[in-house]
Structure 1
């Protein structure tokens, strides 16, 4: 995995590598509104994960997931650390959990 200084740098690089779609997090799946697509935990893999901390506010943290569906549809999901964890299904929590 690469190292990035900023979230925008990571997003730009991932886009050049084919992760050009934007996903939104829902309690039971991720969705790509532009393609009217929903992917459930068994339908996608998290290929890369990057964490970013805000310079001026330590609470301003985000996590970037590079995601690929089983049929090759690629995109990114940007989320704040733990903000939505309470509303996710157990399957989604397991799928997006980062072990480091």
Structure 2
């Protein structure tokens, strides 16, 4: 499939117009369809488009968009890897299937102070105070996702008490604490 797009938001918008209306996530190493609540068998996955958007001067900070057709149900949807962490989250077989024909595209976002309306945190700032930042997973108070879907995780600045965009190298740093959602732990920010 040929797409002439410049960034993730544009890619998602174009793919939705082409009928990719399901939202997929990685769960327990496999592909999960949020609409049906079912896992999609890896053998039934057909990757129609696999796009990579590399940000700034580093290939280590990128986002990926996968347009997928489920061969069993014929449903079409999107898997958005905004944080470039699929290699850590999904099975080797699924990762290989998703990335076999991925097409990288460099986006000119050099040292941008924000991404998708969130203040962008670079590795140098994280290194100054690594305990200040955490990765929140599945929190209900995430800001709206510009892709028209929903975030599954976001960085959080505990000093400023607000969501931030962490570059990929921070997400791969073992010092970053991952905090899963627990109803009693959500602060009332109002």
Task: Give the TM-score, by structure 1 length.
Answer: 0.82
What secondary structure sits across from 1:35 in the alignment? coil
Q: Which residue does the alignment assign to 2:99?
A: 97
Structure possessing the higher relative contact order (Cα contacts under 8 Å, 6 or more residues apart)? 1
CA RMSD of aligned residues (A): 2.0
Q: Which residue does the alignment assign to 1:77?
A: 79
What secondary structure sits across from 1:91 in the alignment? helix
> Which stretch shows the higher mean deviation, 4-13 or 34-43?
34-43
What secondary structure sits across from 1:11 in the alignment? helix
Structure 2's unaligned 5+ residue stretches are 104-190
Provide the rounded CA distance (Å) in 2 between the counterparts of 1:92 and 1:27: 12
- Cα deviation for residue 10 of structure 1 reads 0.8
Higher helix share: 1
- Cα deviation for residue 37 of structure 1 reads 2.1
Q: Which residue does the alignment assign to 1:28?
A: 29
Provide the rounded CA distance (Å) in 2 between the counterparts of 1:87 and 1:23: 13
1:2-61 deviation line (CA, Å, top 9, x unaligned): 121111111111001110111101343211223212102112110111111234x74431
Provide the rounded CA distance (Å) in 1 between the counterparts of 2:8 and 2:92: 27
Structure 1's unaligned 5+ residue stretches are none
- Cα deviation for residue 73 of structure 1 reads 0.4
Structure 1 or 2, whichever has the larger Rg, is 2
